[in-house]
Amino acid sequence: MASRLFELESEASNTKFKHGMEMNKLKLELKDSKKDFDDLKRFVAILESKLGSFIQDAKDNGIKTNIAMDDMPEITVFGSSSGSRRASILSTDNPLQMVR
């Protein structure tokens, strides 16, 4: 996956997970609309993996976090035939969305 295709933008958000962990809103912008939708799925899978790695690294280094692996949000990727592409990280409170 070419990094030039994606621009990740951090924005203030009130998104919270089960234990009150706050996250920034992430905006995913596809630079090449002709690119296969599988690139978006791979990007979301990488994001999910990085979140899991962060939690595990903190645990391995004796850093206490208020989130556990079981608290990881479910990540769903969906699209439509109209060309609109969107991915959501779903939590118990509010979705953290990446929108084209």
33 Cα distance to chain centroid: 20
**Cα 22 to Cα 40, 80, 93, distances in angstroms:** 24, 29, 11
Digitized pLDDT (tens) for each residue of the chain, 100 residues in all:
333 333 333 333 333 333 333 444 444 455 555 555 666 667 767 776 777 777 677 777 776 665 555 555 554 444 444 444 444 444 334 444 433 3
- The answer to whether the beta carbons of residues 73 and 88 sit under 8 Å apart is no
pTM of the model: 0.32
- Residues 6 or more apart in contact with residue 25 via CB below 8 angstroms: 10, 11, 12, 13, 15, 96, 97
Task: Give the residue numbers spanning the domain of 12.
Answer: 3-99
Q: How many domains does the chain have?
A: 1
* pLDDT single digits (tens) 61-87: 776 665 555 555 554 444 444 444 444
